[in-house]
Amino acid sequence: MGSDATSASEPLHPAIESLLRFVNEGLLADSEKKVESDTPLFDEGWIDSLKILRLIAFLEVTAGKKIPDALIVMDRFRTIETIAKNFLNQ
């Protein structure tokens, strides 16, 4: 699960860092749960039906384009890293 993006020796890419901050300080602000860039986001029920819409809205504003519903699938949304790679060109 680990990757270069999460290793202590290398800083996180700004897109991943900004998404991680949004998820932990925005979506999960009222939760004790915090995620890393490679934590599976949908395994434990942290993201509910409202949070997923907020997450999509954040990605659309950050990327400056609409995300079609058909692209909202596990292969593209598994972790923060996967999301950044697929929607934030990182």
Site of interaction with another protein (CB under 8 A): 42, 47-50, 52-53, 56, 69-70, 72-74, 77
Nearest CB to another protein, comparing residues 18 and 82: 82
Nearest CB to another protein, comparing residues 2 and 68: 68
- Give min distance, CB of 49 to another protein, in A: 3
- Give min distance, CB of 15 to another protein, in A: 20
39 in the Ramachandran plot: left (φ > 0), alpha (ψ -120 to 50) or beta?
beta
Per-residue three-class SS string for 36-58:
CCCCCCCCCCCCCHHHHHHHHHH
